Structures are given as C-alpha cells and as structure tokens.
Amino acid sequence: MAVRAIRGAIQVDADEREQVLEATVELVSEVMRRNELTPDEVISVLFTATPDLTSEFPALAARGLGFAEVPLMCATEISVPHALPRVVRLMAHVETDRPRSEVQHVYLRGAQALRLDIAQ
C-alpha cells in the first residue's frame, strides 16, 4: 500500500451555499469513483477555494459523504489576477495499491481548463 496524492477541481456557477456544496459533492464523488476508493482509504483532504467563494466551507460537503473520521481542511487559494474564478480545488492523500501513473486526477466543468493535459 502506498500513499498517493490526488488532485481535483471544479468550477462553481455562483457563490451560493448550495452550489458550493453540490459542486464539492460532485468533485469528491468523482475522485472516489474514478480511483475506486472508500472513505477508509482517505488519509486527509485539503480543500481550497478561490477568494470569490465565501458562502460555505467545501469540507462540509465531504462530511455528508462519509468522511466523518477523515481530517479535512479548507483554505483560500491565492488571489492571482488572471485566475479562473469560482473554483474549489482539492488534494486528497490516500492509501492505494495504484501506481502513481494510474491515479486519476479529476477536473470538472470549467476547471478542465486548469489542466488541459489531463482533461477528461
């Protein structure tokens, strides 16, 4: 078993609580599905949000997906003038037998533009 980091991001349509929560659920669920993970295999998750998303903590959405025992943290992404707006990002540290080359990073909605090299 190895420890791997999985990255992901999703763009939210508006800074509204329900939209932030729904987008975060979509992102976390897709990371878990594509990497065939359970919450027990997740060591920790760091969420960041662009400075224009302040209506809710993304980690709250993960709690509803069974991450009650997983350490979660939220932070604000640095404010860069040309950055994509309204983006929730995550870095999940997981235990997995997958080699690094088979880890599936997930970029959804407008956040696909952040990583065109691995866009789904």
Residue 7 annotated as catalytic: yes
| Catalytic residue of the set 4, 56, 86, 89 | 89
Residue 77 annotated as catalytic: yes
Residue 107 annotated as catalytic: yes
Choose among 76, 112, 74, 90: nearest CA to 37. Answer: 90
Residue 115 annotated as catalytic: yes
Give the angle subtended at the CA of 57 by the CAs of 19 and 61, to the nearest 5°. 65
| Catalytic residue of the set 26, 41, 74, 98 | 74
Residue 74 annotated as catalytic: yes
Spatial contact of 17 and 55, defined as CB atoms under 8 Å apart: yes
| Catalytic residue of the set 4, 56, 77, 86 | 77
Strands 72-76 and 106-108: unpaired
| Catalytic residue of the set 16, 17, 18, 63 | 63
Which residues carry out catalysis?
Answer: 7, 63, 74, 77, 89, 107, 115
